[in-house]
Amino acid sequence: MSVIDELRREGGVFQAYELAKEKLSKKPNQELLKKDMARILTELLQKNCFVAQSDEFLGYLKEFQELSIPKRDSVIHENIIWQVGKFIKELVRDEASSEIFDTLYDMLTEMSVPNGSDLLTFITRSVMESAEFNESYLKVLLSLRVRHLNEDNFVAINEGGEKKASPGEMVLLLMAKALTKQAKPAEADLNILLEELDFVEEHYKNIPYTLYYKAKVHLSSGDLEKAEEAIFAYLKKRSKEYLAWELLADITRDKERVIQALCKTVINRSHSGQLLRSKIKLFHLFVAEKEYAVAKSLYVDINRMRRELNKGATTEWDLLVTESWFKKARRDVSFENYCYKRSKPLVAEVFADWKAQNGIIYGINKAKDLAEFIVSDEVYGTFKWFDNKDAWVGDFVSLKLQRVANYEGVRYKVLSIEKTEKRPKRTIYKVVEDEIRFENDMYFVGAVSINDKFIDSKGYKVGDKVRIKAVKGPQYKSSDQVRWKILFIEKKEAN
């Protein structure tokens, strides 16, 4: 043990500091002296780990860097970095000025934090917590790289049955949001982010947003073809994500596709106010196209949203109601119905390679604006109807479906739907011509059971020969009874 280190251990850290400085001025390259000074600086950093002593802390940290201790002496470097992490916590707690963070992070980016270590997790989370107090946190996160965090950071958090983003996912999203919001992000930074997104997409399948931010990165770098490719791939996984359709509208340069993408955006479910930007943009596009009736419907809805959010409007906006086109425009047009139809070509393009299944519309719930469909005994569900008079009960439809499984069970999400002439499976749709019979306390035509109230209301009786078209209703777990809905019935002359 050296005299300097013994002096430090006995509590004379400041005397040891002065002695080490004196000896280093004479022998600046002596390794043992450097290590003694590094241990002294570690202790001094610990003693000055407060916002009020930030000048002292940063000064001692700079002195450590000037020692140029070799990376192989990892314990020395790690002890210093632990103190840096604690100092960041103090800065965040006291809401320190951005200048202190900037100076500290300039030095931190030159330090080497061990990959996969608890120290890396500690530093990364500490830097992430400081995001609201400075902008230089981003360069630190980019230099640390998400991929170097240990796997535990990418395990989803479950709090009371509610799934929350993992720490690793939160870091990645913070980086992606911050960088892609910049007006002119550096190409080198975009490349680093893209590499991290690729890595996470490959190794952590539970994180869903990588493709979305890859599209934003490509958009920021001006590669529209790759941006569209990425957002198409993302939409195939999360077709109801309004932000993805909104991003597609920003990516495409074709005016019609912009309108189609915005149309799909505004008919997606979301919290009040989230669609305001897209609705206003779409409104002006409709006015430019002279689609006045749809624009008027959208204008009314935008004003409703603004009232809910207590957001005012410009005088120019308020005066639109005095325009001649506004006064003459029809009132009975629904922008949701119009947008549903207008967006269908783009939706079909996104899911062009998706296999379609033939089914039939089983019912319409006007109150909830939902249509029920059935493809088979196992595949059925609902989709938003948008008061679409072109689709009705009994219509054959071609559906592109996505199977969604969760703790509640399996359901099928409709990605795309078109009317078709192709009949669904015979197990769910039957055309039968036979006599009405009564057995086991039920009426039947062939193998199709018929509700007794329906028979009575139509004036039919046992022995009448009829021709029916019927669709089999979904067979829910709570009931073993097979239900048929009669779509059409007519009496036939007996032979």
Confidence band of 478 (pLDDT split at 50, 70, 90): low
* Tokens representing residue 376 in the block: 């088979």
Query: Are 327 and 396 contacting, i.e. CB atoms less than 8 angstroms apart?
Result: no
Give the pLDDT score at 454: 84
Rounded average pLDDT over 88-100:
96
Give the pLDDT score at 468: 92
- The residues pairing with 97 across neighbouring beta strands, listed in sequence order, are none
Give the integer Cα–Cα distance in Å for 285 and 199.
39
Confidence band of 483 (pLDDT split at 50, 70, 90): confident
* CATH classification code of 3-247: 1.25.40
Give the integer Cα–Cα distance in Å for 21 and 15.
10
Confidence band of 473 (pLDDT split at 50, 70, 90): confident
The domain limits of the chain are 3-247, 261-348, 354-419, 429-491
Report whether pLDDT(318) > 60: yes
Q: Which residue has the higher pLDDT, 159 or 358?
A: 358
Give the pLDDT score at 374: 94
Confidence band of 104 (pLDDT split at 50, 70, 90): very high
* CATH classification code of 354-419: 2.40.50.140
Confidence band of 495 (pLDDT split at 50, 70, 90): low
Please name which of 265, 270, 268 lies closest in space to residue 283, comparing C-alpha atoms.
Answer: 265
pTM of the predicted model, to two decimals? 0.83
Give the pLDDT score at 141: 97
Report whether pLDDT(161) > 70: no
pLDDT digits (tens, 9 = 90+) for 60-69: 999 999 999 9
Same fold, 354-419 and 429-491: yes
Confidence band of 165 (pLDDT split at 50, 70, 90): confident
Give the pLDDT score at 157: 80
Give the pLDDT score at 494: 67
- Crossing angle of helices 74-93 and 54-67, rounded to 10°: 160
191-200, 262-271, 486-495, range with greatest mean pLDDT: 191-200
pLDDT digits (tens, 9 = 90+) for 264-285: 999 988 876 899 999 999 999 9
Give the pLDDT score at 476: 65
Give the pLDDT score at 332: 86
Please name which of 110, 115, 171 lies closest in space to residue 138, comparing C-alpha atoms.
Answer: 171
Report whether pLDDT(296) > 60: yes
Confidence band of 29 (pLDDT split at 50, 70, 90): confident
Query: Are 2 and 36 contacting, i.e. CB atoms less than 8 angstroms apart?
Result: yes
Q: What percent of the chain has pLDDT over 90?
A: 71
Report whether pLDDT(288) > 80: yes
Q: What percent of the chain has pLDDT over 70?
A: 98
Give the pLDDT score at 82: 96
Domain range 429-491, CATH class = mainly beta
Confidence band of 477 (pLDDT split at 50, 70, 90): low
Whole-number mean pLDDT of the chain?
91
Query: In this predicted structure, which of 16-30, 71-85, 189-203, 319-333 has the lowest mean pLDDT?
Result: 16-30
Give the integer Cα–Cα distance in Å for 41 and 315.
63
Rounded average pLDDT over 252-266:
96
Instruction: State the DSSP string of 44-108.
Output: HHHHT-SGGGHHHHHHHHHHHHHH---TT-HHHHHHHHHHHHHHHHHHHHTT--HHHHHHHHHHH
